[in-house]
Structure 1
Amino acid sequence: MPDQKRLFLLDAYALIFRGYYALIKNPRINSKGKDTSAIMGFTNSLFDVIKRENPDHLAVCFDKDGSAERTEIYEDYKANRDETPDVIRESIPIIKAILKAMHIPVIEISGMEADDIIGTLAKQAEKENYKTFMVTPDKDFGQLVSENIFMYRPARMGNAIEIWGIPEVQKRFGVERPEQVIDYLGMMGDASDNIPGLPGVGDKTAKKFIKQFGSMEALLDNTDQLKGKMKEKVENHAEQGRMSKKLATIFTDCDVQFNAKQYELSKPDVEKVIDIFKDLEFRRLTEQFLKMFNEGAENTDEPKTKDVKQTPGSGQYSLFGNDTSKDDVKAEDFQGYKSLDNTDHHYQYANTTKAIELLIEKMSQQKSVCFDTETTGLNTLDAELVGIAFSWQSHSGFYVPIPKDETESDKRLETLKAFFENEEIEKVGQNLKYDLKVLKNHGVDVKGQLFDTMLAHYIINPDMRHNMDVLAETYLNYSPKPIEALIGKKGKNQGSMRDVELEKITEYAVEDADITLQLKHFFEEELKEAHNQPLFNKLEIPLIRVLADMEIEGIKVDKNVLKDISKSLDKDIEALEQNIYKQADEQFNIGSPKQLGEVLFGKLKIAKKPKKTKSGQYSTAEDVLSYHAKDHQIAQDVLDWRGLTKLQNTYVDALPKQIHEKTGRVHTEFMQTVAATGRLSSTNPNLQNIPIRTERGRMVRKAFVPRNQDYTLLAADYSQIELRIIAALSEEETMIKAFQDGEDIHASTAAKIFDINLDEVTREQRSQAKTVNFGIIYGVSAFGLSNQTNLSRSESKELIETYYKTYPKLRDYIDKQVEFARENEYVKTVMGRRRYLKDINASNRMVRSGAERNAVNAPIQGSAADIIKVAMINIHNKLKEGQYKSKMLLQIHDELIFDIHKSELNELQAMIKSEMENAYKLKVPLDVEVGVGYNWLEAH
């Protein structure tokens, strides 16, 4: 018997929304400022199905104008849904254009939902002996499952794809037959579609009724078998139950006809697809698409709905067989990208003393030269320098190899110092901090003005990616040679740059320097247009040297202290586990959200109406447990257990492994181009996330110590800098005066909003005022405030209203910020850093209110970030000029940590405090608290 043909029907909107919200915290923004998250999310899902399953037939089904019939039955059907985000609305025509170019049919019928179209087509195809897979995360489709119709739930958040046949549906819904899923949904209702269901009937009760009665009708005909309130509720809402079942029923008789020929997966119009992708700046998806079409896609170990036919000997499969019109099609061929292969260039190497001397002579005549180091690895402390590329004119440049032999290497670098230490020549690069560290580790100091293309682009377009390949393709229409072409893919078998032939490494390295130089010319003009040259030249560029020195320095960490903390944590974690098991009256995996949810909400019933995740499991998210922690000790114990296990795994047990063998220190990296607000972020390890609100979290700081007994740690911390900034920016006199008079701002606020004397303020009142003070920056609501305090929602509302009456200019400032953002689509910090807010005029309320919150807090957070950067630059310069032994080691949000030689303590304590407090003049004084101690905890 021949293989059964397979049809895949995609639920378009379900996949589009899912893709959009999966990227909501890190949206994909291209150089034109367009949010491409929805398109990318959907296209990834589509490609995943095509690559993984190699389907015979495929179609994509869209809703159009909602469900006319269901709305007629129930006016409030789906009435609870927020308006579709603008980003998704704008993405639909582009998604349809992609599908059209791929020759994939788009099926939509006015007044019909995609569910109904999919249901109709699936049943028709079943009659023609097709195996149909409904590609959707929506559980409602369970009702359509049969011997030949399956639900295909796409992979998400690291979970593999799920294929639900009859057994999976039986297990998930507690039914005998899939069609009983309609009764299940009708009984319990569906919040997402606003289907009311029967009051008081949830997942467990619905499953019980299905088992007992078999259907909604049988339940309503036999209510005499029910008892008490449940009997009353079901009888009183019988019509609502019948209506809910109708609303939950997927129609299978739409005006659509399955057309096997039309739905056949066929060769796409490659040029058209690539054209659309180029406009969207979809680099990775272009590569995927071309692999699928031309070279076959990499086989995966994931189970498929049937075995994929392998291209002989390749370990890959080809979607359309091997008969492709072009055998070796590359992204740049279709996208019209320039590349090494099709662009005239003149790249040479200089590998003799005479050639290098001539090169230096030529470079010394230039005002600006771009350079790029080639190394054996990404860790600057261990990386060997393999060579350096130079370019000062587009399409040309030189490469100087650095020998492995230490003596020869030192000689060559000594010669190159004439260029690097020439202060008259501007040095250009992409991610210059890396190159500066590599050269410093090899005894070379890079002097003169710097220009970093990665930083320039971060200031111009903070929400976009900043790696060179993306920048080259976006701004220069050029696709650089990937490093994998020289040393292979990442992994244990990857080669070393040290082993690449001189001619090949010359082409690769000089291309990077050449492209970076061309980007520099482009970004210089962009910075001028955005009036951001001062921010770039006076703040971000000088900070490169500061951060490079801090990262090279590192900080000493005492392994023994961490070992002791870990032992102590073991005991505390064990005690909490026993407590939790005792309260639960059983042992279970506390780290499993599913098992934990069953214990807390299924067995112990700590909530009347437990919150559930989209997959139907009980939610055990932190906010859910925090809400119940006040009334249920077990919820608090679980939160404590999570906090301690995370602390142990992320820091206490992980930090010793990150101590570098050569230096005995931890060398975190500070990232300048990650946070759109301008804040620095820390990685490898992330020292900015060590929890300090708990005693245990604070104890980790004990492990950070000075280099030796002649040194001590000094911590200098801005006190309430964000509140001082908002007071100054809003020109709120009452708040400004409190800061000028040196009052405790939270006590001062409490005295005013509770209308009492300053000396009468209680700890609880101060705490409530503190919550409001900081909450205002982040747009705290009455609901949010009541969750964070012991106040009721009405008390919280009253407190916020009183707060704004006390500080009227604060309300005006917030309104003006939002208004400015609406008109300009950006806000800016005191130093002119822009935060672009493309969603500020969105029609979707949730999306718009998120942008409004950013309009208020981005200038405050960003200004605080700018101010501490100024302080860091000034302090770094003074430490250098004075040739002090003391070093600046870390920046943790509003705090700086120093390794201070004891003989310099008094002098530097005063200097650091002064520089930080005078970094920027506001209408309120900046206040810095300085502490000293043998470890970071003591110093802080």
Structure 2
Amino acid sequence: MTNDGTDDKRLFLLDAYALIFRGYYALIKNPRINSQGMDTSAIMGFTNSLFDVIRREKPEYLAVAFDKEGSAERTELYEDYKANRDETPEAIRLAIPYIQRILKAMHIPIVVEAGIEADDLIGTLSKQAEKEGFTVYMVTPDKDYAQLVSEKIFMYKPARMGNGIEIWGIPEVQKRFEVERPEQVIDYLGMMGDSSDNIPGLPGVGDKTAKKYIKEYGSMEALLENAENIKGKLGEKIRENAELGRLSKQLATIKLDCPVTFSADKYTLDDPDVEAVHEIFDELEFRRAKETLAKIFSKEILESADSNSNSSSDSSAGAGQFSLFDTPGSGTKAEAQATGRQTLATTDHLYQVVQEGMGTKLFLQTLMKQTSVCFDTETTSLDPLAAELVGIAFCWEKGKGYYLPIPQDREQAQAVVDQLKPFFESAEIEKIGQNLKYDIKVLDKYQVDVKGPIFDTMLAHYLINPDMRHNMDILAETYLNYTPQSIVELIGKKGKNQKSMRDVDVEKVKEYAVEDADITFQLKQHFTPELKAAGTDKLFADIEIPLLRVLADMEIEGINLDEDYLSSLSRKLTEDIAALEKNIYKEAGEEFNIGSPKQLGEILFGKLKLVDKPKKTKTGQYSTAEDVLSYLAKDHQIIADVLEYRGLAKLQSTYVDALPNQVNPDTQRIHTNYMQTVAATGRLSSTDPNLQNIPIRTERGRQVRKAFVPRDENYTLLAADYSQIELRIIAALSEEENMMAAFQSGEDIHASTAAKVFDVALEDVTREQRSNAKTVNFGIIYGVSAFGLSNQTDLDRSEAKELIDTYYKTYPKLRAYMDDQVAFARENGYVETVLGRRRYLKDINSSNAVVRGAAERNAVNAPIQGSAADIIKIAMINIHKKLEELNCKSKMLLQVHDELVFDIHNDELEDMKKLIQEEMQNAYKMSVPLDVEVGVGENWLEAH
């Protein structure tokens, strides 16, 4: 569809908001967040589409149309026009000024008129340009534009996720809507309505019926004139809603008489102001955009790209959409090659398989001379404790790398790995990797201890941009403009037909494995200065990297499980669940599926009518969500029983029955996996199994902890728990004297708070007063409201509000600190922990009060939670180091929020109690002392 040398003048008109929304939602699961915490997905998506059009089509004439304040005319006709739409996402609202700055810097005309929508502006300009002999391409994914298509006006539809474009001319519109003429699309839209614009349409008329009536009657007017001939309820509805049909057609009609005038000399695509565009791209941190801009406006590049473009008769361009930023999953490698998108597999590189014998010897000699090497293991399993090595890739220079195959025979494999020990155990050579904890655990099975400095690109990116995803493919696409080869290409999709990496030809594995090492090596060079720029390089080197080794050792160690105890607990739970089920059926007056939200809702709110106005879901069903039922439980026994039933059923299925199946067959122990890069606050996450979510507030939940036992009779479990660490941190950071004094004197902080807010002597504080004070103490950190506090206590809302007001009067510096945190976040876009861990808050200045309120709560909470996470990480690192130095038999096993669990050899018990408590209490010095409670026992519950 490129300019083929004819005199045909081509005008491209872009629907800005349609392309902006499309780009934003294409990246919704993987938003692009820059170092300032700004979500740039909308800008990125639109700019990507704009550059793609320019690169593909090299248009002489181009303009971009924006909506402004909606359609005044349509809203006047129909008050609910577009009333169903959610508020524009904050990221899009903030993106518009940047996009318009980019367009102005590129000298691209912007068309905008208050009270007029972009489709009306484009419709008007298209028809005017058509009369002047132009061929017009309306660049938009919006199907409504199909009504404007003619011999000289086309829809230019970018396909999703970069899979080319579609050109809709008259034949395509005829086929898509089953009409004779494009203008009949207006009748089609009027009949069936449009939910996105809240156009009502004719009740009962959908896609198929609308197409049928178009064929039969030709127009809305003709349908309504003949409505008497339509039988049944549908005919009755159409007759009753004739005016609604006429209104809907009017709302769906794109205007062709807007106060804009097409003038060819004002719509030419001129050379951009490169310096001005670069300045904006630098501000947004669009790293490769300058190079791309130079390419698409280079005459030489544009002319050479002609051969890759589609002919004007091609209505479905198949070449991959050119991507300035290469969104994940956007097209295949063939498409990438056709569009100039880089992949390591298509750029110059030299990847070699290391041959046995002399080849291996020479490789090892060269390897040992390096100062920094990236390595990547290829294995037979995602579970490092079950995985066998297939090969290892190495890279220490961009575009070059080596793949060393590992024999299947275990003895031979060990012999090969033994040759690599000097490298892995070198204290001088830096080892680079992506998710190195996995590789360290795999190599541990081969008696290899990875020593020396390490650099994990996944951890580095987590500190640079904690809210983004951190897998290698996304990092390569985002930062290096590379599309790595997919593992699916080698071994297939998950399932019984998936191959093992060992079954793949070694040359193919080499290309895949070394490419990963090459990418990771390049990412390291990119992230090193970014860590420093973000002020997180020390946090990376002193906390996250040392912790990686600690976690690897903990995960390898695992914990012992009493399976017989869990079996007996499961039998008890089955009895309890059956008893609750019987009670619920009796209270309901019938049997039903308690696990079905639909059936449960109908019983509670349809049949029993427990509330006057029950909350409903978007699908119209009664809501039986946890928060809804919890609010009602104290007033209705059946709801209390349902919640208990749910809790016991989940406990049984998630832990009691599941844990024995997760015991490793080789070690006979449970091995959880700790993830460092999930929670933006810095807290660790536990998975496979998740040992951090075992309930501890219910008796049955606590009993699950009894299943975790020492290694054998020579060991005892020890649990060490920070007491009220978050309150201590907020007291220290806010410098609130009253709260600090309570901690410094060793008072019960909840009793002390109760004494102050209820104005009673410390010894006269009642259990209820202490409980309410405790709820406020912890709730303040999370921004508890009077409504929330009243739900958690026996206080009514006015009493709760009074308690919160009194609390802030009692601790005035606490309120000032919270206000200061919010103010800092507004100005800087982030907040920090005591060790400089940043939490970016992109919505802190949002105009949406609900969204802004959540960001404000995070501004207060994140530094507290994050500082607590940092402190326990320091303690873990220091304790692990001491255990190694002392060559202890005792091991650290688990980290659960503010608690550490150890397997202590009985001979070391008294020494370990003292060592662990001291290291935890002295992990970080504040004006408020850290207090650690230590317990021991024959199981985790007893120790805790």
TM bracket (short chain): 0.7 to 0.9
1:660 to partner: Cα distance: 1.0
1:104 to partner: Cα distance: 4.8
Out of 755, 760, 783, the position equivalent to 2:759 is 755
- Contact 1:460-1:526 at 8 Å conserved across structures: yes
**Which residue in 1 is equivalent to 2:327?**
282
Distance 1:181 1:602 in 2: 33
Shift of the 68–257 alpha-carbon distance from structure 1 to 2, 3 Å rule, reads closer
**Which residue in 1 is equivalent to 2:253?**
256
**Which residue in 1 is equivalent to 2:720?**
716
**Which residue in 2 is equivalent to 1:337?**
342
User: After alignment, is 531-540 or 396-405 more displaced?
Assistant: 396-405
Shift of the 882–536 alpha-carbon distance from structure 1 to 2, 3 Å rule, reads same
**Which residue in 2 is equivalent to 1:411?**
415
**Which residue in 2 is equivalent to 1:526?**
530
Say yes or no: does 1:573 pair with 2:571: no
Out of 15, 28, 31, the position equivalent to 1:28 is 31
1:135 to partner: Cα distance: 7.0
Distance 2:77 2:607 in 1: 38
Aligned to 2:650, the other structure's residue is in SS state: helix
- Contact 2:715-2:903 at 8 Å conserved across structures: yes
Aligned to 1:330, the other structure's residue is in SS state: helix
Out of 740, 744, 747, the position equivalent to 2:744 is 740
Matches within 5 A, 1:426-825: 426-825=430-829
Say yes or no: does 1:849 pair with 2:853: yes
Show CA shifts across 1:143-198 (max 9, x none).
5322755799xxxxxxxxxxxxxxxxxxxxxx96598699xxxxxxxxxxxxxxxx
Aligned to 1:254, the other structure's residue is in SS state: helix
**Which residue in 2 is equivalent to 1:301?**
none
What amino acid maps onto 1:28 in structure 2? P
Out of 140, 146, 160, the position equivalent to 2:205 is 146
Shift of the 644–481 alpha-carbon distance from structure 1 to 2, 3 Å rule, reads same
- Contact 1:421-1:446 at 8 Å conserved across structures: yes
Distance 1:367 1:17 in 2: 47
1:74 to partner: Cα distance: 10
Distance 2:480 2:874 in 1: 33
- Contact 2:146-2:185 at 8 Å conserved across structures: no
Shift of the 418–246 alpha-carbon distance from structure 1 to 2, 3 Å rule, reads same
**Which residue in 1 is equivalent to 2:839?**
835
Shift of the 628–543 alpha-carbon distance from structure 1 to 2, 3 Å rule, reads same
- Contact 1:601-1:610 at 8 Å conserved across structures: yes
- Contact 1:734-1:807 at 8 Å conserved across structures: yes
Shift of the 77–415 alpha-carbon distance from structure 1 to 2, 3 Å rule, reads closer
**Which residue in 1 is equivalent to 2:280?**
none
Shift of the 478–706 alpha-carbon distance from structure 1 to 2, 3 Å rule, reads same
**Which residue in 2 is equivalent to 1:203?**
none
Shift of the 180–820 alpha-carbon distance from structure 1 to 2, 3 Å rule, reads farther
Shift of the 741–431 alpha-carbon distance from structure 1 to 2, 3 Å rule, reads same
Among the aligned pairs, what percent are the same residue?
63
Say yes or no: does 1:914 pair with 2:918: yes
**Which residue in 2 is equivalent to 1:191?**
none
Distance 1:127 1:82 in 2: 25
1:254 to partner: Cα distance: 2.9
What amino acid maps onto 2:353 in structure 1? Y
1:567 to partner: Cα distance: 1.1
- Contact 2:186-2:252 at 8 Å conserved across structures: no
Shift of the 103–660 alpha-carbon distance from structure 1 to 2, 3 Å rule, reads closer
- Contact 2:82-2:198 at 8 Å conserved across structures: no
- Contact 2:821-2:860 at 8 Å conserved across structures: yes
Shift of the 31–387 alpha-carbon distance from structure 1 to 2, 3 Å rule, reads farther
- Contact 1:338-1:478 at 8 Å conserved across structures: yes
- Contact 2:34-2:40 at 8 Å conserved across structures: no
Show CA shifts across 1:53-76 (max 9, x none).
xxxxxxxx9997457589769999
What amino acid maps onto 1:678 in structure 2? G
Aligned to 1:403, the other structure's residue is in SS state: coil
Shift of the 683–829 alpha-carbon distance from structure 1 to 2, 3 Å rule, reads same
1:434 to partner: Cα distance: 0.5
Shift of the 71–483 alpha-carbon distance from structure 1 to 2, 3 Å rule, reads closer
**Which residue in 2 is equivalent to 1:393?**
397
- Contact 1:101-1:268 at 8 Å conserved across structures: no
Shift of the 177–451 alpha-carbon distance from structure 1 to 2, 3 Å rule, reads same
Distance 2:674 2:697 in 1: 23
Distance 2:796 2:237 in 1: 43
Shift of the 21–473 alpha-carbon distance from structure 1 to 2, 3 Å rule, reads closer
What amino acid maps onto 2:341 in structure 1? G
1:721 to partner: Cα distance: 0.5
- Contact 1:131-1:148 at 8 Å conserved across structures: no
Aligned to 1:596, the other structure's residue is in SS state: helix
Out of 854, 860, 864, the position equivalent to 1:860 is 864
- Contact 1:372-1:509 at 8 Å conserved across structures: yes
1:89 to partner: Cα distance: 3.5
Distance 2:235 2:873 in 1: 62
Q: Which runs of 5+ in 2 are unaligned?
A: 1-15, 47-64, 101-117, 123-136, 148-176, 212-231, 257-312
- Contact 2:351-2:400 at 8 Å conserved across structures: yes
Show CA shifts across 1:565-599 (max 9, x none).
11111111111111111111111111111111111
Shift of the 591–37 alpha-carbon distance from structure 1 to 2, 3 Å rule, reads farther
Q: Which runs of 5+ in 1 are unaligned?
A: 1-11, 43-60, 110-118, 153-174, 183-213, 216-244, 260-264, 291-327
Show CA shifts across 1:196-245 (max 9, x none).
xxxxxxxxxxxxxxxxxx99xxxxxxxxxxxxxxxxxxxxxxxxxxxxx9
1:648 to partner: Cα distance: 1.2
What amino acid maps onto 1:282 in structure 2? T
What amino acid maps onto 2:480 in structure 1? L
Show CA shifts across 1:508-557 (max 9, x none).
22221121111111111111111211100010000111000111111111
What amino acid maps onto 2:345 in structure 1? L
1:391 to partner: Cα distance: 1.4
- Contact 2:192-2:205 at 8 Å conserved across structures: no
Distance 2:244 2:778 in 1: 46
- Contact 2:374-2:431 at 8 Å conserved across structures: yes
Distance 2:776 2:246 in 1: 48
- Contact 1:102-1:267 at 8 Å conserved across structures: no
Distance 1:750 1:86 in 2: 41
1:409 to partner: Cα distance: 1.5
Matches within 5 A, 1:84-483: 84-89=88-93, 101=139, 104-105=142-143, 136=195, 144-146=203-205, 251-254=248-251, 256=253, 267=315, 274-275=321-322, 278-279=324-325, 281-284=326-329, 286-287=330-331, 329-334=334-339, 336-341=341-346, 343-483=347-487
What amino acid maps onto 2:321 in structure 1? I
- Contact 1:134-1:151 at 8 Å conserved across structures: no
Distance 1:39 1:646 in 2: 43
User: After alignment, is 97-106 or 826-835 more displaced?
Assistant: 97-106
- Contact 1:821-1:840 at 8 Å conserved across structures: yes
Aligned length: 773
Aligned to 2:803, the other structure's residue is in SS state: helix
Distance 1:815 1:178 in 2: 62
1:80 to partner: Cα distance: 11
Distance 1:662 1:939 in 2: 27
1:251 to partner: Cα distance: 3.2
